[in-house]
Amino acid sequence: MLSVRDLDLSYGDAQALDGVSLDAPEGAIVAIVGANGAGKTSLIRAIGGMLRPSRGSILWKGRDIAGEPSHVVCNLGVGQVAEGRQVFPTLSVRENLLMGSMLPRAKARRAQNLDRMLTLFPRLAERHAQAAGTLSGGEQQMLAIARCLMGEPELVMFDEPSLGLSPAMVQQVLATVVDLNKTGLTCVLVEQNVAVSLRLASRAYVLENGRVTLSGTGAELLNDDRVRQAYLGL
Ligand code: ATP
């Protein structure tokens, strides 16, 4: 469904991605693991059209979207939930959700999708008129996810969705990702909780200094000595 090939990306002279290739088959949860600065966010932003790669291709359902702007990528069904949540703090929960359905892809169904999101996330329904900036961190993460879903994506890239949340909220956010995947959503997951994300993932990649150094099923990487030492502290 998504197939990245030989992707390079630089910030000026600094190369952040070096020949990255990865696949996200339809219905998969794909985990991307790596230390700080390995290039995970750069990769997600390149796929999402926020950064322009200098080389390589990003095939989405057979079409090369490398270098396309983010509204085009998003309108083709590739959504992302950015690191740090980034809800509009002064807008209400409801207004934030509606912002997620501005593109032609989902605009005609915004009312139905809003109802669907408020049913799926009862906590957001209770707080629909409240300014998003007054929600707890976990609620803001749920809002960021729901806002992304308002655009009817077929694949969602989650960048550190559990960052800064309480252990209970971490569980809830990751359970939400699993539930969405069960409904058919293809998920790309960048997660600091390496063990958990590998357990959930049908496919996983280790990124080091902008390169893919290991890949396999989540279970294979969980049992890999290099992964166990470097990322699981075992
Ligand atoms: P983290 O987990 O810390 O977010 P990451 O794996 O997501 O790390 P990136 O944020 O993609 O890594 O960063 C990859 C490299 O690119 C790092 O060396 C980083 O310093 C550099 N980098 C990221 N953004 C920029 C930028 N806007 N300008 C210059 N260099 C950048």
Q: In the predicted model, is pLDDT for residue 113 greater than 80?
A: yes
Measured from the Cα of 45, ligand 1's closest atom is 11
CA distance linking residue 136 with residue 132, whole number of Å: 9
Which residue owns the Cα nearest ligand 1 atom 28?
A: 11
End-to-end CA distance of the chain: give it in Å, rounded. Answer: 34
Which residue owns the Cα nearest ligand 1 atom 31?
A: 11
Measured from the Cα of 14, ligand 1's closest atom is 30
What are the tens digits of pLDDT across the range 24-57? 999 999 999 999 999 999 999 999 999 999 999 9
Residue with the larger pLDDT of the pair 10 and 230: 10
Contact of 158 with 190, CB cutoff 8 Å: yes
**How many whole angstroms from 228 Cα to the centroid of ligand 1?**
24
CA distance linking residue 211 with residue 189, whole number of Å: 17
Tell me the chain's radius of gyration from C-alpha atoms.
17
For 23-84, the DSSP string reads EE-TT-EEEEE--TTSSHHHHHHHHTTSS--SEEEEEETTEE-TT--HHHHHHTTEEEE-TT
Contact of 147 with 100, CB cutoff 8 Å: yes
Question: What is the model's pLDDT at position 232?
Answer: 86
Contact of 160 with 192, CB cutoff 8 Å: yes
What integer best gives the mean pLDDT of the chain? 95
pLDDT band for position 223 (cuts 50, 70, 90): very high
What is the mean predicted confidence (pLDDT) over 51-76? 96
Residues with CB under 6 A from ligand 1: 11, 14, 16, 34, 36-42
Look up the ipTM and state it. 0.90
- Other CB atoms closer than 10 Å to residue 228's CB: what's the count? 15
pLDDT band for position 66 (cuts 50, 70, 90): very high
Q: Is residue 43 packed enough to be buried (19+ CB in 10 Å), middle (13-18) or exposed (0-12)? A: buried
- Stretch among 90-104, 160-174, 206-220 having the lowest mean pLDDT: 160-174
Question: What is the model's pLDDT at position 234?
Answer: 74
